[in-house]
Amino acid sequence: MTQPKNNKQPYGLPSAVENFKEIVGEIGSRQPILFLDYDGTLTPIVDNPEEAILSDEIKKLIKEIAEDISVVIISGRDRENVELKVGLSELIYAGSHGFDIVGPNGLEMQHEQGQEILPTLDEAEGNLNERLDGIAGVQVERKKYAIAVHYRNVEKDKVPEVKKAVLEELDRQPQLKKGSGKKILELKPELDWDKGKALTWLIEALGSESNLLFPVYIGDDITDEDAFEEMADHGIGIIVGSHDQKTRASYGLRNVAEVLCFLEKFEMSLKRENIT
Q: Which positions are catalytic?
A: 37
* Cβ neighbours of 164 (radius 10 Å): 11
CA dist., res. 51 & res. 271, Å (int)? 32
CA dist., res. 257 & res. 260, Å (int)? 5
φ, ψ at 236 (rounded to 5°): -125, 125
Q: In what order do the strands lie in the sheet with 236-240?
A: 108-110, 100-102, 92-95, 71-74, 31-36, 213-219, 236-240, 251-253
Query: Which H, E and C letters describe 45-88, residue by residue?
Result: CCCCHHHCCCCHHHHHHHHHHCCCCCEEEECCCCHHHHHHHHCC
Q: SS3 of 32, please?
A: strand
